[in-house]
Amino acid sequence: MTSTTITGAVFIATSVDGYIAREDGGIDWLTRRDDDLSETGYDDFVATIDAIAMGRNTYEVGLTLEPWPYTGMRVLVVSSQLDPDADDRVTVHRSIDDLLDVAQSEGAQHLYVDGGQLITSFLNRGLITELTITMVPVILGSGLPLFGLINDDIFLEHQRTKTLSKGLVQSVYRVSPDAMLEG
């Protein structure tokens, strides 16, 4: 049985209309921007985590980026399709439970959770404690939403919102401690 001592945090960008990628998974609307990512606090955030957990789709998007954006990070990918030996930079897990068991056995306590489907799964399990959402000033009209089907309402406590350069707006929320007691 997986311990609930592992927590997850989200650090993600969305379009104004709430999409994290185009229908085909493309994030060109984000990567072609010439933004100073250091002002987003990403480096400080990554310094607080033990490993990054992502789904196959997010991993495959990462493969298109140069350089590999997760250098120096422990990367755990949940996939029922990906060959476990496909990439020596990642460890492939067939289920979230397997990922959590391995992370716990390795002493990981705080995961960076990336990818809409995995974020939703972690939220539904009560494992996300904080969400940092940076809204990019673009409307996509359709795409892959940040959140999928949520089992119960998840109440958030607003921590702060700040405006970054070029119109980016970043909000940080803590998951209310009472949020998981009601579900």
Cross-strand partners of 172? 132, 160
Do strands 128-136 and 7-15 pair parallel, antiparallel, or not at all (unpaired)? parallel
| Res 179: pLDDT | 52
| pLDDT (tens place) for every residue of the chain, 183 residues total | 444 589 999 999 999 999 999 999 999 999 888 766 678 999 999 999 999 999 999 999 999 988 998 999 999 999 999 999 989 999 999 999 999 999 999 999 999 999 999 999 999 999 999 999 999 999 999 999 999 999 999 999 999 999 999 999 999 999 998 755 544
- Contacts (Cβ under 8 Å, ≥6 apart) of 170: 40, 41, 132, 133, 134, 135, 161, 162, 163, 164
Task: Return the domain boundaries, the chain.
Answer: 7-182
Q: Please choose, from the candidates 120, 53, 61, 42, the residue with its C-alpha nearest in 3D space to the C-alpha of residue 90.
A: 53
113 in helix, strand or coil?
strand
Fold of 7-182: Dihydrofolate Reductase, subunit A (3.40.430)
The 10 Å CB-count burial string (b at 16+, else e) for 159-177 is: eeeeebeeebebebbbbee
Global pTM? 0.92
Give the tokens for residue 123: 């939220």
| Angle, CA 110 vertex, CA 66 and CA 11 arms, to 5° | 45
Q: Which residues pair with 160 in a beta bridge?
A: 172
77 in Cβ contact with 55 (< 8 Å): yes
How does 1-12 read in b/e, with b if 16+ C-beta sit within 10 Å? ebeeebbbbbbb
Report CA torsion sign: 63, 65, 66, 67. Answer: negative
